[in-house]
């Protein structure tokens, strides 16, 4: 820190220089100070500041999505936001969380290894109370017991919903498919990496109604190492501007291609009275109002989409598409009274 001299001290310094008591070179010589950076070899920094910042941005998106989904499920005001993103050893993380607590072991497919989602007991029991019809105000929070089988099943459903938000928040970097493996309550039993292994810890401040607590998402460096180069601001923002990668589009197309839809080629319709329907016999002929020269309407999921003509391919009946039905024509076809000719 620079020291500011008073006017009296300046006058004394000038007088000393004039009298020769102090050499000018001594005054001009600045003290040499070496800047020393403390480095702990037991816990080396493996994440750069830029990578930490990118992880923070990703989980800010995750926090917004979780806020919306939990608010809808619990029918209560839920607030989730990123409090901090730090790197520390796995042992330090385990020691920092309470016992018992709610710990979900997360399979980070396609990444190797696992991660941990930890929810503070205050938030856990507030969520359970809300889902069981209580106020969820945290008035009764049992501190020293494990979750019952029913409570554990309820929290599994909550964690699965949260992991769906995580997948969406990570999609700019990797097509993450997180799966809940198991739920533990004792941190000592959740040994997914050696104690000295470095992890990145995302701490999320969570508020359910008036109850406040923490959620922690712990990701080991070994798990996130294959995509560490993608955790840069340049890669992140370029992916966001593109609105999605080619890989994402291929995934969407692949999923859409497996969806089954119904196609119906409608020859014609007409209105009959019930007594006429009851009197229909074999070999009776029903005259449809459609001319053989008129094209048929091909409906996809009961929506008119194409005009077509009937035919045969080999031994199978078929239709040939001749024209796409425009939006205006679709409205006309849908509003057309039954039995009216095309």
Does the pLDDT at position 102 exceed 70? Answer: yes
Residue 20 zone, left/alpha/beta (φ > 0; ψ -120 to 50; rest): left
pLDDT band at 205 (very low <50, low <70, confident <90, very high): very high
Cis ω before 157 (30° cut-off from 0)? no
Numbered ranges of CATH 2.30.330.10 in the chain: 263-335
Give the pLDDT of residue 295. 87
8 Å CB contact between 79 and 64? no
Does the pLDDT at position 39 exceed 70? Answer: no
**Least confident range of 30-34, 50-54, 220-224:** 30-34
DSSP string, 151-220: HHHHHHHHHHHHHHHHHHHHTTT-----EEEEEES-GGG--SS-TT-EEEEEEEEEEETTEEEEEEEEEE
User: How does strand 296-300 pair with strand 263-266?
Assistant: antiparallel
Does the pLDDT at position 118 exceed 90? Answer: yes
Mention the CATH class of domain 263-335. mainly beta
pLDDT band at 235 (very low <50, low <70, confident <90, very high): low
Numbered ranges of CATH 3.40.1550.10 in the chain: 49-255
8 Å CB contact between 296 and 266? yes
Mention the CATH class of domain 49-255. alpha beta
pLDDT band at 115 (very low <50, low <70, confident <90, very high): very high
Residues 6+ apart with CB under 8 A from 42: 89, 196
pLDDT band at 169 (very low <50, low <70, confident <90, very high): confident
C-alpha closest to that of 230 among 161, 163, 175, 288: 175
pLDDT band at 1 (very low <50, low <70, confident <90, very high): very low
pLDDT in tens, 10-27: 777 777 767 665 555 555
């Amino acid at each position: 820190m620079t020291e500011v001299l008073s006017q009296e001290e300046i006058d004394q310094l000038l007088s000393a220089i004039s009298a020769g008591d102090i050499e000018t070179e001594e005054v001009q010589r600045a003290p040499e100070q070496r800047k020393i950076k403390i480095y702990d070899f037991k816990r080396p920094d493996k994440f750069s500041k830029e990578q930490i910042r990118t992880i923070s941005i990703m989980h800010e998106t995750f926090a917004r999505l979780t806020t919306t989904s939990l608010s809808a499920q619990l029918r209560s005001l839920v607030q989730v936001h990123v409090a901090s993103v730090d790197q520390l050893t796995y042992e330090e993380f385990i020691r920092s969380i309470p016992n018992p607590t709610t710990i979900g072991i997360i399979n980070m497919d396609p990444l190797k290894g696992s991660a941990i989602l930890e929810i503070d007991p205050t938030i856990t029991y507030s969520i359970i109370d809300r889902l069981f019809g209580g106020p969820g105000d945290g008035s009764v929070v049992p501190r020293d017991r494990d979750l019952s089988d029913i409570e554990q099943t309820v929290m599994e459903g909550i964690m699965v919903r949260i992991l769906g938000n995580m997948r969406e928040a990570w999609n700019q970097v990797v097509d993450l498919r997180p799966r809940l493996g198991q739920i533990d309550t004792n941190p000592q039993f959740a040994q997914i990496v050696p104690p000295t292994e470095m992890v990145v810890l995302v701490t999320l401040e969570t508020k359910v109604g008036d109850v406040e607590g923490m959620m922690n998402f712990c990701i080991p460096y070994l798990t996130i190492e294959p995509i560490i180069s993608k955790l840069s601001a340049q890669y992140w923002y370029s992916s966001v501007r593109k609105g999605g990668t080619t890989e994402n589009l291929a995934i969407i197309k692949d999923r859409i291609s497996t969806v089954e839809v119904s196609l119906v080629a409608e020859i014609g319709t007409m209105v009959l009275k019930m007594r006429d329907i009851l009197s229909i016999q074999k070999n009776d002929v029903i005259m449809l109002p459609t001319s053989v020269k008129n094209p048929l309407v091909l409906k996809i999921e009961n929506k008119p989409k194409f005009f077509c003509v009937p035919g045969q391919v080999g031994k199978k009946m078929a239709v040939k598409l001749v024209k796409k039905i425009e939006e205006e024509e679709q409205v006309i076809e849908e509003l057309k009274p039954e039995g009216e000719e095309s």
